Structure 1
Amino acid sequence: MRVVVGRWDTSPYGAFADAMVETAAGHRVLVAPSQEVADFVAATYSFDEVRIEPVTIDGWRFTSPSLAVEVETGARTALGRALRLVPARVAESPAWCTLTDPVARVVMRGVRTRGSAGGGRREYYGATDNHALVAARGSFDGVDLGALAPVDPPPRFGFSSTPRRPSVTTVVTTVRG
């Protein structure tokens, strides 16, 4: 099972958290705190099912009626150290994301820093930090998420995937159009 938790500190809908889950069978589920957020996220990414549920986020713990996940982060990775060398204002800009996309495609299979957000919109991921995960616990629909393992195959939510090594990446997402 693959889980991507989004913690949006600022957005057109205020601060919120959501989660994208892909089961071992390939079923893609969005867990969102409101219909408004679900509509925005589902217009950007692909899901087989959308669930509107109360969501809480407390540090590195995400909880909803169907999903509970808690992670422990480790040291900043080599990628994180490299990302921290780039000034945030530059790293977060769509121009930088466009420039770094060919490198990301080669260095990290499946990872993209720009692509289609659906409906004629473009999306840019400005990564500014990365930390390894050292532990994760949780369940989805009462089923244990299992042990940490390489993210393989990559999740199929949108144009980009996650790094193969389980991690926490700080990303500024820009959607235009």
Structure 2
Amino acid sequence: MRFDGWIAGLGFSGGTRVVLGHWPRTPLGAFSDVMVERPDGERLLLAPSHRVADFVAATYVFDTVRIVPVEVNADGEGDGEGGGRLWSATAGPLALRFTVGRRGGLGLLLRAVPGALATRPAWCALTDGPARLLPGGVRTRGSAGGGRREWYGVRDLHAIAGASAAYQGEDLGTLTPVTPPVRFGFGSVPRKPGLARVVTTVEVRE
């Protein structure tokens, strides 16, 4: 099963870390979901439907799963060349806004890899070693829940230049690195807040 879209990883000075997935092309249809790790360690999934929640919760680990409306508005969805793209998301108790900056050297390298190659599981397995050198516990392949295997084919990466968020109306603070790493699956997002263009492949065993 292939999920084509974007993943944003952000940390906030109040201790909350947020991972937003925005998936226009998937076997489950277009959807967005949010994974939140609170300062006390609670891992929360905010999903737009039971179908999405069941699949994601079978692949990753959460303490709480909530079915809530999830809406994402993205100016350009990270495909443009410059900075200044504004994203906003609402998901139940969470309200999030962030601005995408320019891509750095790693983003330029990722963009140089042909898409047909970058999304193959064999290539993702090859890039797993270099990915582990990045701060934050990044992985591009691993074992997921339910005996599933998963590969992340990253095709682009932009820094997040600024962000604001509130949870149940409470300001989460200023944008910070994603520390400690999130604990939803076998790997975390990069420590530096960023928006990645990703094709995720999940091998599901019936």
* TM-score, L = length of structure 2: 0.83
Deviates more, 1:99-108 or 1:78-87: 99-108
Question: 1:121 and 2:121 equivalent?
Answer: no
Structure-2 residue corresponding to 1:40: 55
Rounded Cα–Cα distance in structure 1 between residues aligned with 2:108 and 2:119: 16
RMSD after superposition: 1.0
Question: 1:55 and 2:82 equivalent?
Answer: no
Gap runs ≥5 in structure 1? none
Rounded Cα–Cα distance in structure 2 between residues aligned with 1:36 and 1:71: 28
Rounded Cα–Cα distance in structure 2 between residues aligned with 1:129 and 1:166: 14
Residues 15-164 of structure 1 mapped to structure 2, 5 A cutoff: 15-59=30-74, 60-164=87-191
Query: Which of 166, 171, 174 is equivalent to 2:193?
Result: 166
Structure-2 residue corresponding to 1:10: 25
How many angstroms does 1:30 deviate by?
0.3
1:102-128 C-alpha deviation (Å, 9 max, x unpaired): 111123440000011222211000001
* TM-score, L = length of structure 1: 0.96
How many angstroms does 1:79 deviate by?
1.2
Rounded Cα–Cα distance in structure 2 between residues aligned with 1:82 and 1:28: 32
1:53-111 C-alpha deviation (Å, 9 max, x unpaired): 01111111111221110110001021111101111111111010011101111234400
Contact 2:136/2:178 (CA < 8 Å) preserved in 1? Answer: no
Aligned-partner SS, 2:33: strand
Structure 1 residue runs of 4 or more that deviate by more than 3 Å after TM superposition: none
How many angstroms does 1:12 deviate by?
1.4
Rounded Cα–Cα distance in structure 1 between residues aligned with 2:134 and 2:42: 28
- Of all paired residues, the percent bearing the same amino acid is 56
How many angstroms does 1:138 deviate by?
1.5
Rounded Cα–Cα distance in structure 2 between residues aligned with 1:148 and 1:53: 25
Gap runs ≥5 in structure 2? 1-15, 75-86
1:115-152 C-alpha deviation (Å, 9 max, x unpaired): 11222211000001111111111211222121111111
1:19-73 C-alpha deviation (Å, 9 max, x unpaired): 0000111111000000000000001111110010011111111112211101100
Q: Which has the higher contact order (CA 8 A, sep 6+)?
A: 2
Rounded Cα–Cα distance in structure 2 between residues aligned with 1:131 and 1:71: 12
